Structures are given as C-alpha cells and as structure tokens.
Amino acid sequence: MRFPDRRRAGQELGVRLTEWAADGDLIDPLVLALPRGGVPVAAEVARALGAPLDILVARKIGVPGHPETGIGAIVGDGPPLFDRRALAMLGLSEEELAPDVTRERTELHRREHLYRGDRPAPGLSGRTVILVDDGLATGATARAALHHLRTHSPAHLILAVPVGAPSAVTDLRQTADDVICLHQPPAFQAVGQWYDDFDQVSDEEVLRALEEVRTDSGPWR
C-alpha cells in the first residue's frame, strides 16, 4: 500500500478511525498533530471525526552523523526521553547529546510560538486524544509525545498513523491505549518510501491547515 500524498493518507486514516469509533464512544475527541508532516494527515482525520485539531510539538534527537535515525525525543520543557538500549549499543551518553537537545529545544519553542501564538494548549483531562503523524520509523518521537500526553490524564489515548515499521507499532502498543496503523510493511525502511509525494511540509502549510480546520469546526477547546 502506497499513498499519493499526506492528505490522501489522512483521508484513508479518517475512514478507518470513523469505522473504529462506531464500535465505541469517543469521549470529547481531540486530534493532535505532530508537526510538521503530521499536520496534513491530522487535518483530514479531524474533518472525518468532526473533532477539533491542535498541535503537539515534539523534536527528535538523532544519532550523530545520522540525524534521521531517532534515538530520543523531547516534548515541551520536559527532559529528553532516550532509547537507552540504543544508546548503549552505540556507545553514546546523554551528556554527549546535550548540545543536540539544546538545539532541538530552541526549534521546538520556535514552532510552538509560531503555530499557537498566545493561544493556550487545549485541556486533555478526561478526553479521547488522538495523536497523528505521517508515519512511524523508530517511534522515538511518538513515544515521547505519548508519555507527555499520558501525564495530562486523557480518558483514552490513541496513536494513529498511515504507515509504520512493524516493530515500532508493536512497541508503542505498550504506551498508547490503541494504535491504528493502516500499513505495516515488512520491508519498511523509511516513511517516505510509502508516499508518492513526500515533500517537506512548510510552516505556512501548517498554519493554513490549522486555520482551515478551525474554520470548519469552530473555536479550539
């Protein structure tokens, strides 16, 4: 299974979630996107569910020399969450990665301010929170995001992605209450290989998608 682009992937994911939701009660649902690539996907999910859309900015900490391979991640002002087994295998320490954490935290705050401005983050307690990204490779970013969300006491925490590495999907089932993944290819190498169009999403596209969904569904809550 390949997807033409993130928007089409989001539409297909939205159909699956709508079918899934028919078997249970989604209490006051909220769709949260991991920017930037997760936003076009999440916008379609939010439309399908008639739910509000917001963002949760997380930043991946990559392996030195191989930044696309996530070895940890940060969310908000919380401490980094590292894959300690991977650190040990690579002979790395958290101290060695401190400059990378500082750099990524600066970018995280830039994006939070740009995407949200002075608007407060939505309340999560007692709600069904659906975290959406465009795919899972190592799952490091999604894992950190789920751990962060869990501290806010959602009623139900769902991770939804169009495509993911089977090992990452299996691992994250221990962190989320449910994981919805349309395609888990055995030969998974990278998220982008499962999209015809996987161009980088710009800040302008993120802001436009957030505004369009807000216009469709009303004020954030």
pLDDT tens digits, residue range 110-161? 999 999 988 899 999 999 999 999 999 999 999 999 999 999 999 999 999 9
Q: In terms of DSSP H, where are the helices of the chain?
A: 6-21, 38-49, 84-90, 98-116, 140-150, 166-172, 203-217
Q: Report the pLDDT value the prediction gives residue 216, as an integer from 0 to 100.
A: 66
Q: In terms of pLDDT, which residue wins out, 179 or 217?
A: 179
Amino acid making up residue 125: S
Q: Report the pLDDT value the prediction gives residue 69, as an integer from 0 to 100.
A: 84
Q: Could you report the per-residue pLDDT of 36-92, keeping only the tens digit for each?
A: 999 999 999 999 999 999 999 999 999 998 888 889 999 998 999 999 989 999 999
Q: Report the pLDDT value the prediction gives residue 13, as an integer from 0 to 100.
A: 97
Amino acid making up residue 155: A
Mean pLDDT of 83-111: 94
Q: Determine how many CB atoms are found less than 10 A away from the CB of residue 196.
A: 10
Local confidence band at 217 (pLDDT 50, 70, 90 cut-offs): low
Identify whether 111 is preceded by a cis peptide bond (ω within 30 of 0): no
Residue pair 126/154 in contact by the 8 Å Cβ criterion: yes
Task: Compute the distance between CA of residue 38 and CA of residue 75 in angstroms, rounded to an integer.
Answer: 15
Amino acid making up residue 162: P
Mean pLDDT of 89-114: 94
DSSP character at residue 25: -
Answer whether residue 219 shows pLDDT above 60: no
Q: Could you report the per-residue pLDDT of 188-213, keeping only the tens digit for each?
A: 999 999 999 999 999 999 999 999 99
Task: Compute the distance between CA of residue 191 and CA of residue 9 in angstroms, rounded to an integer.
Answer: 12
Task: Compute the distance between CA of residue 161 and CA of residue 184 in angstroms, rounded to an integer.
Answer: 10
* CA atoms 189, 9, 61, 106: torsion sign: positive
Residue pair 47/207 in contact by the 8 Å Cβ criterion: no
Q: Report the pLDDT value the prediction gives residue 22, as an integer from 0 to 100.
A: 80
From the number of C-beta atoms within 10 Å of its C-beta (0-12, 13-18, 19+), residue 118 rates as: exposed
Q: Report the pLDDT value the prediction gives residue 102, as an integer from 0 to 100.
A: 95
Task: Compute the distance between CA of residue 155 and CA of residue 194 in angstroms, rounded to an integer.
Answer: 32
Q: Report the pLDDT value the prediction gives residue 50, as an integer from 0 to 100.
A: 94
DSSP character at residue 92: -
**Strand, helix or coil at 166?**
helix
As a residue count, the chain comes to 221
Q: Which two tokens stand for residue 90?
A: 């690579």
Task: Compute the distance between CA of residue 192 and CA of residue 2 in angstroms, rounded to an integer.
Answer: 10
